[in-house]
Chain A
Amino acid sequence: MAFSAGLRGQYQSDLAGLREAGLFKEERFIHSPQAARIEVEFPAGAAPKPVINLCSNNYLGLSSHPEVVAAAHAGLDARGYGMSSVRFICGTQDIHRELERRLTAFLGTEDTLLFPSCMDANAGVFEAVLTDKDVMIADRLVHASIVDGMRLCKAMTDTFKHADMGHLEEKLQEHQDKRSRIVITDGVFSMDGDVAKLDEIVALAEKHDAMVFVDESHASGFIGRTGRGTHEHCGVLGRIDVITTTLGKALGGASGGCVSGRRELVEMCRQRARPYLFSNTVPPVIVAAAIKVLDLIGGTTERRDTLERNTAYWRRLLTEAGFDVKAGDSPIVPVMLYNAKLAQDVARDLFAEGIYVVGFFFPVVAKGQARIRTQLSAAHEKEHLDAAIEAFVKVGRRHGILGLGRNEIVEKFGL
């Protein structure tokens, strides 16, 4: 038996170690569609509990929107369930081409290529367009999928301090001997919710002859005046060389992602990106629904505007209640607790009060930066946020953290 008792014991010990370290991830079973209010079975076996959801990426509230669901049904009827093929053999339908064209227009780029996920897009794009003569210069807080993509690429790896434009310029100067340089950043950073200084990044890249790559997963659909993303927000539409983004968050929330940007770079991905070449095509049902999502957000900014109002309202409620909130404008609103156990305890108590949030701590965030990441949605009504703040205040009061800043929390609970 290859999977011997000894080997099994080793894995059991490793898993026990994760539990002891508080790093074991447990799934919560949701008994309802994704929405502002959901029913969650937790712990496993417990009766489903109705809770207000403050931890999904359903930014525009489109995950269960009736028109999106209807479009998915229609797509299923018209184009079937699966394609049983990768794209370049017999997996590309007319609707795949249509969605790619629609995403190109929405993102303001030259061309777009769908991937099974943005994780796959990020894993494949660098290797497809760069060689060992090039250098990748990434913000130190870019998403894990970008890190994986960089590791798969032969180009040299370098980093700059998070959002530090001076450091980025030093790096750009240092690597002038390379064939090409690419600056890599998230548009909105997933843990802190801060927005990249894309205008400054683009200016530096143009000055030092570098390309710019932006992952817009936490931005597409709602950042910027018409929701096109961080490049719209920063006034650099059309000046980004590569954008990756996901259909798995604001844009319907199912799955799928894309590489969008300069025509030649997208074509290189079509020819060489391994996750594209060796994964099945995005299912027709998702493609049809994503086209409907683009119809919905192309016609009006109502949902994006609602999300902006909800975000401002929620930030104000938390701040006025005395929570330590990371500054910013994005719908990712981190409530800073610094201490890992405190973050877990507060999240547990909030769940008991009917609010679903998750505590994050090392290694998901840096040591001493534990927090609860709240995420807003256009699907939230004022009553949801009012109920949520009531619970936050109750739990915050119980733990004695209201009105405390970092130093006081650290003094009281340690790091």
Chain B
Amino acid sequence: MPEHRAITVRLPDRVEPTSLDLELLKATFQAIVALRFESAKEWETVLHQLEEQGWSVGWGLAWMAEARRGDDFEQASGRTLDEALNQLSQLARLDMVGHCP
């Protein structure tokens, strides 16, 4: 296994990063790596195909939230973490009980 290459960023002494800060940094670097190394830039082809078919396509990075409980699975995305988690919460609430005919 090749060693993982890493970038270490020294934080100023008085900065105490929160778990959200760290999550944001991780997500940002993951996004850069994904965009930089995506094989053959297939996404551009797909994008052009959709536009040729008349779709007006918007795209961007988003938060993804997932919840799992046993076999139940819910997934939501949003432009902000609040938006993604709120949507996830609404989906989970709709499944609160199974209901009866």
Contacts and interface: CB of A to CB of B under 8 A. Distances in A.
Contacts of A159: 90, 93-94
B95 interface: yes
A253 B95 CA distance: 27
Interface of B is mostly: loop
B40 interface: no
A138 B97 CA distance: 14
A157 interface: yes
B67 to A, nearest CB: 14
B101 interface: yes
Interface string B51-86: 000000000000000000000000000000000000
B98 to A, nearest CB: 4
A138 B96 CA distance: 13
B96 A157 contact: no
B91 interface: yes
Contacts of A362: 97
B101 A157 contact: no
A124 to B, nearest CB: 17
A159 to B, nearest CB: 5
A5 interface: no
Contact of B101 (A158, A190, A363): A190
Interface string A47-72: 00000000001000000000000000
Q: 9 tightest CB-CB pairs across the interface, nearest first?
A: A144-B99, A363-B98, A147-B94, A364-B98, A157-B90, A159-B93, A364-B100, A366-B97, A190-B100
15 contacts: A138-B94, A140-B93, A140-B94, A143-B99, A144-B98, A144-B99, A156-B87, A157-B90, A157-B91, A157-B94, A158-B90, A190-B100, A190-B101, A365-B97, A366-B96
Given A57-B101, A144-B98, A365-B100, 8 more contacts: A141-B99, A151-B91, A157-B90, A157-B91, A191-B97, A363-B97, A363-B98, A364-B97
